[in-house]
Each structure stands twice: as structure tokens, then as C-alpha cells.
Structure 1
């Protein structure tokens, strides 16, 4: 197995303290939003493998995998997902709201990518929507109290939330939400919000934010969002979604077509290895409204908070309906028996508390190792360890 050196991404919404506190290092004063663990080409983890009797040189995990996919990932994973690590593991530290966004399913991603390729739109163009041909289901597990938005709330509930603000320009949305069937109401209101004249919408957002600040309670999150994104139509769009609070150890799965945003907190996130994001607001980046409306699933849902399912081996599994990733947790007690994690699939093991030993390596909080397929690995000591692998 290999100890990983990982890149921390300094996105503006990142907390300045959460990741440094976990790592036990001094904050720099700059945002530290995400620490990436995996083989994503944008910031692959790096490792140093001995060569013969020498120390070897540092290499990107992506290069290691490219050189011998079957050795690193295992034949079954290569058959199922191709010669690339199919997931990306992250520490995510939100100090401000992330963009309101949605991800395509696999068919939509393949069709959208092929269409933009055929039209010759550069992959790095600001108005490019599909960066690759893969879907991007996600799972986030809270390490601290964690807030987010996930899926549409019921139209009647949103109508009551918006109506209580007493903002005249919101009344047409309130009327639509009360009068139309669920799918039509959600579609028409989101379309109207994202298509509104910018200056008029900015005034609506300002009035709604002032009212939300005054009312507090269930309205408080939207006042907070507006402080970070004044005048952004995403502030009003966010009111259509369920507000979710996770306690440490609880998780939230985000499937295709489900609008969502993370607002605050530190968590472990795992996702299929894709960059396909369609933004709905809370961002200065491109919002492709027509394509977005094709991808979003206009159905109200109750937030599905996941709690890990314990097994006799000590593994606590966060069960999801995808094969590209499988996330579980081990809380290792003092004096516990060694845990054998050997499997025919690739793994990344991330420590979030204590100092467990993985083979000959001791991990501190925030440290991770890559374990190739079929490599023997036994975990001992005390602490909390997250295990990311695939379903084969």
C-alpha cells in the first residue's frame, strides 16, 4: 500500500480552519475547500514507491494506474469501469454555500458529451456543460454538524415559506406552487426564477433576504445564502429545496437530477469520477438553463438521511444504489482485534480520528493510503477510518 500526498483546493467557498484543524496544522488564512484523494487528472494524489532497493521517485497515482491498470485496480474493476479509478474521495470543508447544482445520469452525460464534441466546443470553454461522458452520483458523510440543500420540498411547503416573506414579487411563484400539480409547479417556478430579468430578480432577492433575516427560524438559511450571493436568483431557487442538517456520522446521497447545494460543515465526500455539473445558481459561472431543465427531476422528496449499517466485522456501510463507489467506516476501539480489509478491488483508506495502523503505516487524521486490488491489508490500533472502494 502507498501513503498518499494529496492536493488541497483553495476554492473561495472553503473554510479557512476546518481542514487545517483536522490535519493538526496552522491555518494559512486562505480558504481550504477540498482535499482530493484519487486519480482525477485535475489533481491526482501522489505517492512514492520503492524501486528495487532504492527509495524511488514521487509519481501521480493516475500514472501508476495507467502503467498497469489490472495490477492496481484488479481485473474485475477494469472490466466493470475501464482502466481508471472510478471514484474520487474528498475531504470537503464548506465555509460558505457552494453553487446550487445538479448532475446528469449516465445516458444524459454520454449524449450531452457527444453533442458538444460534435459541435466542436472546447472542453475548457466557459459555456461547456459536459466535460466527460460519465455520471456523477455523490455521497457526503458529516464529520461535523453539516448543512445542505437536497431535492425539492413539497410545493405547498415552499408556498408557505415564500408567502410568509411578504414580498410582492414572489406572489406569482406562490400562486403557481399552490395551483398547479407538483411536477408542473416545480418546473414552472424554477424556469421563471432562472429566466427572470436580472435587475428585477436582484430586487426580489434583496427584499426576500431582508424579510428572511427579520423572520429567522426556517428562513434563516436563505438570509445567510443571500449574504454570500447578493442578488443571485439561486437564493430564491434554494427555497424550493429541502434544508437538511446532518449530525456527525450521518450521510446524504445525491443521485442524478437531484438539485442540491452544501452550505456549511466538514465532511467526507465520495463521487463517481466526473466533472459534469449543471449549475442552477449561487455562482458566477455559466448557467445553461435549457439543458438544466432537461436534467432536473421535478419531483418532491423527503430528505433521505443515511446512517451506516453495522456488520459483525465492524464495518459500517453507507449503502447507495451505485457501483462506482462504496463508502464505509470503521470505528476502531482500544484493544480491538485486527481487521482484515483485503479485497479484489482498489481501496483508499482515510483516517479522520486517532492513529490506526494500516500494515506498517500509522495514519494521523487527514492522512490516507491507496491499497491496490488483492494486496493484503490489516488494520489495527484505535481511531476512525473511512474506506472507499467499488462494487464488483
Structure 2
């Protein structure tokens, strides 16, 4: 068991208070967006095994089989296949989508062959991996996830009463689902900058008005779009966002975001887990590069319910957030004082994160080997190391699917 020292990423959209509050630290006055736990080379956690802090990716590189287990190395290679984060959104993240594994491999190989600089602002593929992800709310959490039904999106847009939005509503009503969603998103992204900025301004004013109208249909949705527009005035992503389902998660609820699903996080604190990748294609609410042809190739134009997840409890007290992915498996334990210790399966590498109370990690049979985690603290447990949990609090457990 190794306590992790983790890096906070200060992205501009981050909350100035949520992560400091979780860690019991004083706010710096600057945004603190993500607390990274894992071995991603961009900000690896550090462990100290007696010789001073060492990056976790270097520890794993030195002996992948010992740290990850031979089975994990055989399935995913000599790297930790997931990245765990605490995400604190104080302003909207970009509307974005991630490629599937085949698309990521092909896109990365193509950009490498063309000599696109790794740090070029127009580069889409930073690695040859996919990036499925899951967010579990620690506070009320607003997000956008997947396309609305076209008829519903048409109703929402028409109710704004903005003339320049009517053609979009007409397309949404006139064509089959996938064609309608593709045509409208392409039209939004291809519109002339000045014209779409005027449309966004008019739509934002109407959304703010309807959000404050008692009994108005979609009032909560309009409030979310108006808030996003305050962070990105005139951004065409505000209109693109209206095609997506607005979701408010309550603490403990989750969303799984697979390849090709457009999404954005708007506000709140959550635990996020993902495959160890940084491949993102953006379509709005951002000053960064938008590659429209590649985006339209990657997006899956399928409408439906966003699929809010709730944990499934097992007899041993583990609460699993089921997801159709092998690179990560996320669960939690809510521990009560005096209860029997929970013994964890040692077959794969694990990261344990305490989000409330105080918990203890023990080696069964060795009463002197104890690691205490307070709120916001985390630990790495190598494969093959038997660990038991007790105490009073909530622990998230990140590992790989068996």
C-alpha cells in the first residue's frame, strides 16, 4: 500500500473552492479543476517507498509485472490502463467527443505519418488509445450527455422564438434521426461567425427569460444553456448544446460516456475515471481548435436517454458502477464504524480514494501494516497485495475489469 501524492491541474474552468474543501486546504484564489491519481505521464502521482517520492509511471515502468500483475500487462500492456480524477467544474467544459479504439489508432498513425507536431493546437490525437469515461457525482452535478430526440430538440429550439433557429427546427422534424442531427450540427459548426454569434446572443436572452418563467417547459435546461453562454458569449457551442440531453446528477449518481457520444460537464464536483488517453475532439464552448470534418466522422448521431447510473450493491458491501469497458472498473464502499473489514480482490492494481470520513487500509494478518486515509487522500495498491478496508467513511475503488 502506497499513499499517493497527487497533482492538481489549474484549468480555467475549475472551481476555486471545491477541491481545496475536499482536501481540507485553503483555496489559492485560482481555479483548481482536476486532481489526478494514476500514472499518466502528463501528471503522474508520486509514491515514496523509503527512497523519496518517485513518479508512479516510473515505478510501474521499472517492473510492470510486479506492479500491475502479469494478467493486466498481457491484456493492456505495461502501463496502468486507467486514470482516476476528482473533477471540479466551476464553469462549463467544452462540448466534446472521444474516438473509439480503431479510430484513435488510425488517427494517431495518420498524424504521426504527416508529421503533425505533438503540441500543435490543431492536433487531434495525442495517443493511439480510446477514452471511455465515467463521472460519479459528489455534489449536485450538471452535464450534457448524448443527443435529444430530434423532435424534442426542435420543440426546445422553437420555443426560444428566434427566427434564425427555425431552419434547424425544420430539419430536425423533416429527416430521419441520424440525418437530421448530422445536418443540424454541421450547419451550426459551418455557419458564418458573425451570423451565428448574433443567433447565440438572441437565443441566450430568450433562454434566460424562459428559465425564469414559472412553469416554462425546459426551464432547467434553458438555465443551463444561459449559464454556459455567460462563460462563452457568442460561442456556437451554445446552440450545439441545445441538441444534447441536459442532466442533473444527485450525489452518488453517475454517467458513462462511450465513444462518439457528445457531452460536456457544466458544474459540480465528481469522481471521474477513464481509459488512460487524452484524445478529445471539440465542437463548442471552447477557444480551442475544432476540426469539423473529423468531428463529424467520429460523432455517433444516435438520440436517446442519457442513462443515469446508480451503484449495484453486492453482499460484501461493494457498490459497483457497471460499465461496458475493460480498462477500468469503479466501485465504492460506504464503511460504518465497528463493521467487519472489507477484503479486496488482489488480482489487479488498485487506486483507493477516500471522499468522506477516515478509513484504514490494512494487510490481513499483519496488524502493524496500516495506512490511514483522510478525506481527499488516496493510495495505490499493487496487484497481488491483499488489502482490507475499515473505518468510517466512503472509499472509491478503481481497478480493471476482471
| Fold-level similarity (TM above 0.5) | yes
Give the drift of 1:238: 0.1
SS of residue paired to 1:363: strand
Match of 1:15 in 2: 15
Name 1:252's counterpart in structure 2. 255
Alpha carbons 1:65, 1:72 under 8 Å: kept: yes
Task: Give me the TM-score of the superposition, normalised by structure 1.
Answer: 0.98
RMSD: 0.6
Aligned to 1:199: 194
Work out the CA distance in 2 between the residues paired with 1:71 and 1:391. 18
Deviations 1:177-211 (A, max 9, x none): 11111111000000000000001010000000001
In 2, distance between residues paired with 1:80 and 1:224? 43
**1:148–1:245 Cα contact (<8 Å) kept:** yes
Equivalent position SS for 1:356: strand
1:171-186 equivalences in 2 (<5 Å): 171-186=166-181
Q: What is aligned with 1:279?
A: 282
SS where residue 166 of structure 1 aligns?
coil
* Correspondence for 2:38: 38
Q: Does 1:334 align with 2:329?
A: no
Q: What is the rounded CA distance, in whole Å, between the counterparts of 1:31 and 1:238 in structure 2?
A: 24
- Secondary structure of residue in 2 paired with 1:71: helix
**Deviation of 1:301 (Å):** 1.2
Work out the CA distance in 2 between the residues paired with 1:112 and 1:13: 28
Structure 1 residue 142 corresponds to structure 2 residue 161: no
1:356 correspondence with 2:359: yes
Aligned to 2:52: 57
* Structure 2 alignment gaps of length 5 or more: 212-218, 363-369
- Indicate whether 1:347 and 2:350 are aligned: yes
1:381 aligns with 2:378: no
Which residue is equivalent to 1:370?
Answer: 380
The DSSP-based 3-state class of the residue aligned with 1:107 is helix
Equivalent of 1:108 in 90, 103, 107:
103
How far did residue 381 of structure 1 move? 0.9
Aligned-partner Cα distance in 2 for 1:297–1:291:
12
CA shift for structure 1 position 124:
1.1
Runs of 4+ aligned structure 1 residues displaced above 4 Å come to none
Tell me the alpha carbon deviations over residues 86-124 of structure 1, each in whole angstroms, 9 at most, x when there is no partner: 000000000000000000000000111111111111111
The offset of 1:24, in angstroms, is: 1.1
- Are the counterparts in 2 of residues 342 and 378 from structure 1 also a CA contact under 8 Å? no
Aligned equivalent of 1:220, options 223, 232, 237? 223
DSSP-derived class of the 2:22 partner? helix
Counterpart of 1:309 (choices 297, 308, 312) is 312
Residue 256 of structure 1: how far off its partner (Å): 0.2
Of 104, 113, 117, which aligns to 2:112? 117
> Which residue does 2:61 correspond to in 1?
66
1:48 is matched with 48
**1: CA distance, partners of 2:394 / 2:223:** 33
Instruction: Give how far 1:378 is off.
Output: 1.0
- Aligned partners of 1:261 and 1:22: how far apart in 2? 23
* Cα distance in 2 between the residues matched to 1:177 and 1:297: 16
Question: What is the distance in 1 between the residues matched to 2:63 and 2:345?
Answer: 19
Provide the aligned length of Structure 1 versus Structure 2. Answer: 387
Q: Is the 8 A contact 1:103 1:276 kept in 2?
A: yes
Q: 1:322-360 deviations in whole A, cap 9, x for unaligned? A: 000000000001111011114110000000000000121
* Separation (CA, whole Å) in 2 of partners of 1:378 and 1:335: 14
Aligned residue in 2 for 1:391 = 401
Is 2:169 the partner of 1:208? no
Matches within 5 A, 1:84-95: 84-95=79-90
- C-alpha displacement of 1:125: 0.8
TM-score by length of 2: 0.96
Partner of 1:153: 148
Which deviations, in whole Å up to 9, do the C-alpha atoms of 1:65-87 show, x marking residues without a partner? 00000000000000000000000
Tell me what 2:5 maps to.
5
**Cα distance between partner residues in 2 of 1:252 and 1:292:** 22
Q: Matched residue of 1:220: which SS? A: helix
Provide the secondary structure at the position in 2 that maps to 1:117: helix
